[in-house]
Amino acid sequence: MIGVFDSGSGGLTILEALHRRMPDQDFLYLGDHANAPYGHRSNEKIVEMTREAISTLFDAGCTLVVLACNTAAAVALRTLQQKWLPHAYPGRRILGVLVPMVEAITGVPWAQEHPARTSARPKTILLFATQKTVKSGAYVEEVKKRAPTIRLVQKACPGLVDAIEGGTGPKPLAGLIEGYVEEALHEAGGLPDAALLGCTHFPLVRSYFEAAMPESIEILSQPDVVAASLEDYLKRHSEFRKKGSGRIRLMTTGRPEDVNLADSYLPPHLCHFEGGTVL
């Protein structure tokens, strides 16, 4: 069984893509709705909460966990992989959403830092993300290591995760996104080549981003890229892929009756959360 973790409901966009690509795989999703959002919390707290969530998923029988949260992946993943996982859960794996996106942006494998030559043509990409992801500089740093010809213009979107989780109406939500897009385009100083929705909540409102941006700007699909990357990883590490019945189980640290976002944005099979999990 594969675990998927997010600070709230945004990771359901990743889960949906994973299930679509690997329909025979069993998944266990954990949303930390009681503590969401993570964007304004300290790095230490993010590491602590992410570690507790991963422990919950491993103890429930998962052998591999995907951090379907850009903030957690940018802030906590490397620390947990290097300093905690080997002795706490030897033989288990934690993967994040940042690595496959950097590979997709640059066209360079993650392991190939500072390549002697890069085939990446000069281009500008907008990155819409939480304040914490932007402040971490993880995307900019990792892209620069592999393709210094690519310019990444970061735009923090404070309040957007809260608005999505809180079920803000279409008009104020569209206005909020239009403001962020306008600012990002101004900061880019020209028409960018593509945009990355660097928070797994943002694909839930992708249509608003599409409406706010010129049609020529490609929006990179994080869920599809992450799903393809995980499928490739499982082909190379078959010990983590156990054929199942295609069951999906959703857990929340909050009250299931308060987690209504999926009813508006995602298919019915991604709408039924179980409670009782406290981090």
Cis, peptide link before residue 37, omega less than 30° from 0: yes
Q: Catalytic residue among 62, 69, 157, 271, which?
A: 69
pLDDT score, position 39: 78
Pairing mode, strands 27-31 and 93-96: unpaired
Measured CA to CA in angstroms, residue 71 lies from 2, 168, 181 at distances of 20, 22, 20
pTM over cut 0.85: yes
Element (H, E) at 67: strand 64-67
Report the top-level CATH class of 99-222: alpha beta
Q: Catalytic residue among 62, 157, 199, 271, which?
A: 199
Q: Do domains 2-96+223-274 and 99-222 have the same CATH topology?
A: yes
Tens digits of pLDDT across the chain (279 residues)? 999 999 988 899 999 999 999 999 999 999 999 998 887 889 999 999 999 999 999 999 999 999 999 999 999 999 999 999 999 999 999 999 999 999 999 988 887 877 766 555 789 999 999 999 999 999 999 999 999 999 999 999 999 988 888 778 889 999 999 999 999 999 999 899 999 999 988 998 999 999 999 999 999 989 999 999 999 999 999 888 888 888 999 999 988 877 755 445 566 666 677 876 666
- Which residues, 6+ apart, have CB-to-CB distance to 237 below 8 Å? 93
Domain boundaries, the chain: 2-96+223-274, 99-222
Domain 2-96+223-274 of CATH type 3.40.50.200: no
Q: At what angle do helices 138-146 and 98-106 cross, to 10 degrees?
A: 40
Q: How many CB atoms within 10 Å of residue 120?
A: 17
Residue 199 annotated among the catalytic residues of the structure: yes
Strand partners, 120: none
Closest by CA position to 233, among listed 104, 95, 28, 103:
95
